Amino acid sequence: MRNDLALIRQAALDAGQLAMDMRKDGLKTWSKEGGSPVTNADIAVDTLLKERLMAARPDYGWLSEETADDPARLGKQRLFVVDPIDGTAAYMKDKPWFSVAIAVVEAGRPIAGVVHAPALDETYDALSGGGAWLNGAAIRPSNTPELHDSAMLGDEKMFAHPAWKQPWPPMRFATRNSIAYRMALVAAGTFDAALALSAKNDWDLAAAEIIAAEAGAITTDHQGLAFRYNRESPLQKSLICANSALHPLILARTSALEFGNRS
């Protein structure tokens, strides 16, 4: 596993440099089916990572946002789960809140992960049983004990929606385009929690989940269910990532919500 972490860390650093160079040179952009944005850099970074990682581990499977899904991954014991540029909207707008996210998943769970934010020179990584790190220094989540005045990554309008049975207390809201980067910020204690009630994909979550877990944060869907990766559908219905004190307080408010499908 340690060799896998070294492999994906270096790949993420090189991919981040490529993304920065291509943005400086000027991007070509278009919309994917469904309307989400994509750039020539998303594709170039995906190509670099797939060629590099699969050459080093030809027996692993591959799942990436920018690669057509190959069902052969379902029969693999280990696979790479990759978001070449998570937070493409920020990347396109010359903002720093995007990341390269790479996980090694074994038997449905991440065992190594890297989230690299090249514009911020921040590299988060973790290995199962080995702790979580930011640029080589150990990280831990915050110890904020209550939701009131907590630092929350999420859509402020969603929290203010009148449909909530119990209004949320005042919190300090912020947004970051990259889901993986949001989770890494919770792992490092920069923010107390992140909540998203829209569906996310394996590549948004896997790398950051092991970083959060090894740091001491808790990650589930909004009903408290753990994620399983490398299923037929890569969709996960929602996200709660929070320190150990706030996670149950958030879950108490969200667990009764019923929406989406879990395949």
Confidence of residue 263 (pLDDT cuts 50, 70, 90): very low
Is the pLDDT score of 261 beyond 90?
A: no
Q: Where does 2-138 sit in CATH, by number?
A: 3.30.540.10
User: DSSP labels for 30-73?
Assistant: EE-TTS-EEEHHHHHHHHHHHHHHHHH-TTSEEEETTS---GGG
Predicted structure pTM score: 0.96
Q: What does DSSP assign to residue 169? A: P
pLDDT of residue 2: 80
pLDDT, tens digit, 9 for 90 and up, residues 172-209: 999 999 999 999 999 999 999 999 999 999 999 999 99
Predicted local distance difference test score (pLDDT) of residue 258 = 79
When computed from its CA atoms, the radius of gyration of the chain, rounded to whole angstroms, is 17
pLDDT per position as a tens digit, 219-237:
999 999 999 999 999 999 9
Average pLDDT of span 59-73: 97
Confidence category of residue 73, pLDDT binned at 50, 70, 90: very high
Six token digits for residue 252: 């108490």
The answer to whether the CB of 152 falls within 8 A of the CB of 185 is no
Give the domain ranges of the chain. 2-138, 151-254
pLDDT of residue 259: 63
Handedness of CA 12, 218, 235, 178 (dihedral sign): negative
* CATH placement of domain 151-254: 3.40.190.80
Distance CA 212, CA 232 (A): 25
Average pLDDT of the chain is 96
Residue 239 pLDDT more than 70?
yes
The answer to whether domain 2-138 and domain 151-254 are alike in fold is: no
For residue range 98-157, list pLDDT tens digits in order.
Answer: 999 999 999 999 999 999 999 999 999 999 999 999 999 999 999 999 999 999 999 999
Can you read off the two tokens belonging to residue 185?
A: 């910020």
